[in-house]
Amino acid sequence: MSTQGHILGIGYCSMDTLCVMPPMAMDQKVRADHMLMQGGGPAATAIVTAVRLGCKASFMGTVGDDAIGRLILDAFEDEQVNIDCLFQRTNTQSAAAICLVDEQTGQRSIPWYAGTAEPIHPEEVNPDWVKCASAIHCDGHQMDAALTVANIAKQHGIPVFLDAGTLIDRIDQLIALSDVVFASQDFAQRYTGQKNPQQAIEHLHKQGPDWTGVTLGSGGSLGFDGQQTYHVPCVPVAVVDTTGAGDVYHGALAARYLQARDQPPSMLDCMRYASVVAAIKCTQLGGRTAIPTHQQTLDKIKSIDWTVLQ
What 3-state DSSP class applies to 187?
helix
Domains identified in the chain and CATH numbers: 6-23+33-303 (3.40.1190.20)
Residue 310 has pLDDT above 80, yes or no: no
Residue 2 has pLDDT above 60, yes or no: no
- pLDDT tens readout for residues 182-232: 999 999 999 999 999 999 999 999 999 999 999 998 899 999 999 999 999
Contact call for residues 116 and 142 (beta carbons, < 8 A): no
Lowest mean pLDDT among 22-31, 153-162, 172-181, 247-256: 22-31
Residue 35 has pLDDT above 60, yes or no: yes
Contact call for residues 129 and 83 (beta carbons, < 8 A): no
**Which amino acid appears at position 147 of this protein?**
L
Residue 4 has pLDDT above 70, yes or no: no
User: What is the DSSP annotation of 192-258?
Assistant: H--SSHHHHHHHHHTTS-SEEEEE-GGG-EEEE-SS-EEEEPPPP---S--TTHHHHHHHHHHHHHH
Tell me the pLDDT band of 262, cut-offs 50, 70 and 90. low
Residue 3 has pLDDT above 70, yes or no: no
Q: Which of 22-36, 129-143, 230-244, 250-264 has the highest mean pLDDT?
A: 129-143
Pairwise CA distance, residues 6 & 81, whole Å = 10
Pairwise CA distance, residues 304 & 235, whole Å = 8
Q: Among residues 178, 97, 89, which one has the least CA distance to residue 140?
A: 178
Pairwise CA distance, residues 39 & 244, whole Å = 11
Q: What 8-state DSSP symbol labels residue 135?
A: E
Phi (first) and psi of residue 69, to 5 degrees: -60, -40
